[in-house]
Amino acid sequence: MEARALWVVGPSQAELRTEQLPDPAEGQVQVRTRFSGVSRGTEALVVRGGVPDDQRSLMRSPHQVGDFPWPVKYGYCSVGRVEAGALPAGTPVFCLHPHQDAYVVHATAAHPLPEGLPEARAVLAANVETALNVAWDLGAGPGDRLTVVGAGVVGALTAWVLGQLPGADVELVDVRSDRQALAEHLGVRFALPDAARADRDGVVEASGSGAGLHTALQLAGFEATIAVASWYGDADVRVPLGGAFHSQRLTLRSTQVGHVAPQRAPRWSTSRRLEAALRLLASAPELDALVDSEGSFDDAPTDLVRVATGQPSVLCHRIRYP
User: How far is Cα 185 from Cα 167, in angstroms, rounded to an integer?
Assistant: 18
Distances 300 to 5, 20, 37, 131, 230 between C-alpha atoms, Å = 10, 20, 11, 26, 25
* pLDDT tens-digit map of 21-44: 999 999 999 999 999 999 888 898
In CATH terms, 2-124+284-320 corresponds, of 3.20.20.60, 3.20.20.70, 3.90.180.10, 3.40.1780.10, to 3.90.180.10
* pLDDT tens-digit map of 257-285: 999 999 999 999 999 999 999 999 999 99
Q: What are the extents of the domains in the chain?
A: 2-124+284-320, 140-254
Q: Amino acid identity of 63?
A: H
Spatial CA neighbour of 151 closest among 203, 220, 206: 206
311 pLDDT tier (thresholds 50, 70, 90): low
CATH of domain 140-254: 3.40.50.720
* Residue scoring higher pLDDT (59 or 13): 13
Task: Quote the pTM value.
Answer: 0.96
Average pLDDT of the chain is 96
* pLDDT tens-digit map of 62-82: 999 999 999 999 999 999 999
